[in-house]
Amino acid sequence: QVPLEESGGGLVQDGGPLRLSCAASGRAFSTYAMAWFRQAPGKEREFVAALSRSGGVTRYAGSVKGRFTISRDSAKNTVYLQMNSLEPGDTAVYYCAARTGVFSSSIDDYLYWGQGTQVTVSS
């Protein structure tokens, strides 16, 4: 079990930045690949970004590449999602997820999930 807790969501203007954090409990944080997903109203949950256990390899959805950056701080058991140049289309609930093994962009590969944090981008 890996309890995950997201924070940092809120209301931001079109073009603005926001940083999300996901704090993980437990001592095995470095053994988990981490990812962010999001779900907009009326839509399915979709992949945003993923990060390897070491933090050395990342993958992004095409819609956020170049604007979002995923990173991790193993000393703090925390993964971050820095979001720049936000657009109204980025409005969604953002979820942090963890899995053992290699990182993945598939929602079905992740066993552990946070409760989500709302991000709203106003135009």
> What's the confidence (pLDDT) of residue 96?
98
Alpha-carbon Rg for the chain, nearest whole angstrom, is: 13
Within a 10 A sphere around the Cβ of 88, how many other Cβ atoms? 11
Could you report the per-residue pLDDT of 81-115, keeping only the tens digit for each?
A: 999 999 999 999 999 999 998 989 999 999 999 99
Residues 46-74 pLDDT 10s: 999 999 999 899 999 999 999 999 999 99
Instruction: Give every CB contact of residue 111 below 8 A, 6+ residues apart in sequence.
Output: 98, 99, 100
Residue 26 pLDDT more than 90? no
Reply yes or no on whether the pLDDT at 28 is more than 90: no
